[in-house]
Amino acid sequence: MTFHKSIGALACAALLVAFSASAQNKFPGEGGVNLDVPYVPTPQNVVNRMLEMAQASANDIHYDLGSGDGRIVVTAARDFKVKKGVGIEIDPVRIKEANANAKSAGVTDRVTFMQTDLFAFDFTEANVLTLYLLPDVNLKLRPTILDRMKPGTRVVSHAFTMGDWRPDNQDTVDGETLYFWVVPSKVGGNWEWKVGNDTYLANFTQMYQVVTGTVTGPSGQTMISNSVLRGENFRFDAQVTQGGAPVTMHFVGKVAGGQIGGAVDFGGKDMTRVTATKK
pLDDT in tens, 195-223: 999 999 999 999 999 999 999 999 999 99
Residue 210 lies in a domain: yes
Residue 1 lies in a domain: no
Residue 3 lies in a domain: no
Q: Same structural domain for residues 44 and 160? A: yes
Looking at the DSSP assignment, which residues form a beta bridge with residue 3? none
pLDDT recorded at residue 28: 63
Q: Supply φ then ψ for residue 43, to 5 degrees.
A: -60, 145
Q: Same structural domain for residues 256 and 166? A: no
Q: Same structural domain for residues 161 and 196? A: no
Q: Same structural domain for residues 210 and 92? A: no
Q: Same structural domain for residues 223 and 115? A: no
Average pLDDT, the chain: 91
Last residue of a domain, one of 182, 212, 244: 182
Domain that holds residue 146: 9-182
Residue 150 lies in a domain: yes
Element (H, E) at 112: strand 111-115
Residue 2 lies in a domain: no
pLDDT-derived band at 4 (thresholds 50, 70, 90) equals: very low
Q: 9-38, pLDDT tens digit by residue?
A: 444 444 444 444 434 466 766 666 766 778
Q: Same structural domain for residues 19 and 57? A: yes
pLDDT recorded at residue 37: 78
Element (H, E) at 137: helix 135-148
Q: 114-133, pLDDT tens digit by residue?
A: 999 999 999 999 999 999 99
Q: Same structural domain for residues 146 and 83? A: yes
Q: What is the CATH number of the domain that holds 258?
A: 2.40.128
pLDDT-derived band at 5 (thresholds 50, 70, 90) equals: very low
pLDDT recorded at residue 32: 62
pLDDT recorded at residue 52: 98
Residue 177 lies in a domain: yes
pLDDT-derived band at 7 (thresholds 50, 70, 90) equals: very low
Nearest to 160 by CA among 180, 133, 129: 133
Q: Same structural domain for residues 128 and 245? A: no
pLDDT recorded at residue 244: 85
Q: What is the mean pLDDT of residues 48-53?
A: 98
Mean pLDDT check: name the lowest of 109-113, 239-243, 275-279: 239-243
Q: How far apart are CA 178 and CA 158, in angstroms?
A: 5
Q: Same structural domain for residues 72 and 123? A: yes
pLDDT recorded at residue 237: 98
Q: 59-108, pLDDT tens digit by residue?
A: 999 999 999 999 999 999 999 999 999 999 999 999 999 999 999 999 99
pLDDT recorded at residue 242: 84
Residue 94 lies in a domain: yes
> Is the pLDDT confidence value at 184 over 60?
yes
256-265 CB contacts, 8 Å cutoff, 24+ apart: 256/232, 260/187, 260/191, 260/193, 260/234, 262/234, 264/193, 264/195
Q: Same structural domain for residues 111 and 174? A: yes
Q: What is the mean pLDDT of residues 34-46?
A: 86
Q: Same structural domain for residues 36 and 160? A: yes
Total structural domains within the chain: 2
> Is the pLDDT confidence value at 156 over 90?
yes
Q: What is the mean pLDDT of residues 175-190?
A: 98
151 Cβ neighbours under 8 A, 6+ residues apart? 183, 184, 185, 186, 231, 232, 255
Last residue of a domain, one of 139, 157, 182: 182
Q: What is the CATH number of the domain that holds 21?
A: 3.40.50.150
Q: How far apart are CA 198 and CA 86, in angstroms?
A: 50
Three-state secondary structure string covering 152-209: CCEEEEECCCECCECCCEEEEECCEEEEEEECCCCCCEEEEEEECCEEEEEEEEEECC
pTM to 2 decimal places:
0.89
pLDDT-derived band at 189 (thresholds 50, 70, 90) equals: very high
Last residue of a domain, one of 182, 212, 245: 182
Residue 161 lies in a domain: yes
Q: Same structural domain for residues 204 and 164? A: no
